[in-house]
Structure 1
Amino acid sequence: MYYMGIKFKIIGFLLIISALFLLSLSFSIMFLGLSIDFGNFNISPIIVKIINFIIIAVFLSFVAYVGYIMAFHAKD
């Protein structure tokens, strides 16, 4: 099934690109002073909080998943 291998590689590259985009956006807002305005309201601090929450949530989900695999699928 050569098609499935290509599909997973494309999904992997898209995940890498989206992660790099989110990290660069967060870095630009925090350290370079990028300001995103929605009308008369600055939404940059809200975006940074959302991005950082998502990063922490994904990391902790990964740690929990690895713990689940180690606890329940380990060979004796």
Structure 2
Amino acid sequence: MHCRPSAILIRERAGYEGEVRVHSESGSTDLTSALECIMLGLEKGAQVTIEVSGPNEEVFAKNLANLFEREFDFPVQ
């Protein structure tokens, strides 16, 4: 993952009041730091797991999953 997708995810995360965690084989992030996102080292086809808790968590989790799957081609488990 590089800067553009990281910035998109962080911008999406900034509007959510609950807790968010994205996990991959190489680590996890709360999507508040572009550097943390980049350090996950995600490449096309890498799988991620998304955890969300808070208001409208299912809707927000779906929005994030859509970004990962459709925009960045990272399948969500």
TM-score, L = length of structure 1: 0.29
**Structure with the larger RCO, 1 or 2 (CA within 8 Å, 6+ apart):** 2
Structure that is richer in strand per residue: 2
